[in-house]
Amino acid sequence: IEVKVIFRNRLPNTMSSLDDIERQLQEVQRDNEELMRENALLQSFLDRKALSGSDLDDEYGANRARRRSQKTGSVADNRKAPTFLSAEQKFEMAQAEVEDLSKEIEASRLENERVLDDLKAILEETDIRIAEIKKDAYEFKRDIVVGAENPRNGKTMAERVVRYLEDKMREKDSLIEKLRLKNLTLKTQIQKAEGQLRQKEEMGDDLKFIDFHQLQIENKQYVAKIEEANAELLALKLTTGKTVQTLNTLKRKLNELMEESNWLRGEIALRQETLKKIGEDIMRVTEERELASKENRRLKLQQQISPEMPQVLDYVNQKAEKYDLEVAVKSWERKLEIVEISAKRAKTILRQSGGVR
C-alpha cells in the first residue's frame, strides 16, 4: 500500500523528473568526458616516463587496505571504492606533460626551422642554377647554333664547337679552383675556432648563458646579413642575365642594321653608277641634238641658196607614192599567181577532155 501511494504521489511530477534525469545524464556525460581526458593524460604520462608506478602503488595499496577494512560491506559498496589520484599527483602529471610537450614543440620548431632553411637554400641554389642553365643555353644557341653555322653549306663548324667547349671547361676549372680555395679558407677558420674553443675549455672559461645568448643573437644577425647578401647576389645575377640578353639582342639588331647598311651602300653605288650612265646618255643625246640642229640649219641654209632642190614635202609625198605603188605591185603579183593557177587548172581540164575524145 505504501508503494502504491508513493507511485501515485510521483505521477504529477513526471515531467520534472524527466528534466532532472536529463540534467543528471548530461552531468554524468561531462564527468565521463573529464575522466576520459584524465585517463588519456595518465596514459600519455605513463608512456612518456615509463614510471615504475611507486606513487600509484602506494595509492593502490591504501585503497586496497580500505577495501579490506570494508569487506563486511555489500558488493555495491565495494564497487563504489575506485582508485583516485590526488590533486597534487594530477597537477604533477599535467605539469610534466606540459613540460614534455613544450620540449617536443621546441624541438619540432627547431627541426622545422632547420628544414625550412635547408629548403630555402636548395630553392635559392635551384633558382641560381636555372638562371645559369638558361644563360648557358642562350649562349650556346647564340655562339654555336646560330653563330657557328657555315653560310655556304648550313652545317655547324666543328672548330667553333670545340673552342666553345674548351672555354666552358676553363670556366668550370676556374670555378672549381675558387671553390677549393674557399673551402680551404673555411676549413682554416673552423680549425681556428675549434682551437680557440679548446683553449677556452682548457682555461676553464666556459661560456655562460648570457654569452651563449649573445652569440645566438650575433649568429642570427650574421645569418640575416648572409641571406641579404645572397638575395642581393641573386638579384645581381638575374640583372646580369637580363643585361646580357639585352646586349645580345642589341648586338643582333646591330648586325641586322649593319647588313641593311651594307645593302643600302651597294644600292647607292648601283644607283650612282646608273645615274652616271644616264648623265653620259644625256650628254651624248645633247651632242647629237646639237649636231642635228647644226645639220638642220645647214640644210635650211642650202635650201635657201638653191631653191631648185626638192622640198621635204615632195620627199614625203614621193615616199607615200612609192609605198602605194609597192602595195599595188604586190596586189597585182598576187592576182597574177591566182590567174596562173587557174590557167594551169584549165589546161589540165582541156587535156583530160581531149584524151577522152
Least confident of 234-243, 304-313, 336-345: 304-313
Least confident of 130-139, 161-170, 264-273, 298-307: 298-307
CA-to-CA distance for 85 and 35, rounded, in angstroms?
11
Q: Give the CA diameter of the chain.
A: 186
82 phi/psi in degrees, rounded to 5: -75, 170
CA-to-CA distance for 125 and 90, rounded, in angstroms?
51
DSSP, collapsed to helix, strand or coil, labels residue 52 as coil
CA-to-CA distance for 180 and 162, rounded, in angstroms?
27
Burial of 93 (0-12, 13-18, 19+ CB in 10 A): buried
Mean pLDDT value across residues 202-212: 59
CB 135 within 8 A of CB 244: yes
pLDDT in tens, 148-192: 777 777 777 777 778 888 888 888 888 888 888 988 888 888 888
Beta bridge partners of 149: 156
CB 157 within 8 A of CB 150: yes
Least confident of 6-20, 71-85, 231-245: 71-85
Q: For the chain, first and last CA: distance in Å?
A: 182
CA distances from 215 to 124, 225, 336, 337 (A): 26, 15, 135, 133
Residue 148's CB is within 10 A of a number of other CB atoms, namely 18
Give the three cell numbers for residue 186. Answer: 673555411
CA distances from 192 to 178, 262, 305, 324 (A): 21, 65, 128, 126
pLDDT in tens, 67-100: 444 444 443 444 444 466 677 877 877 787 788 8
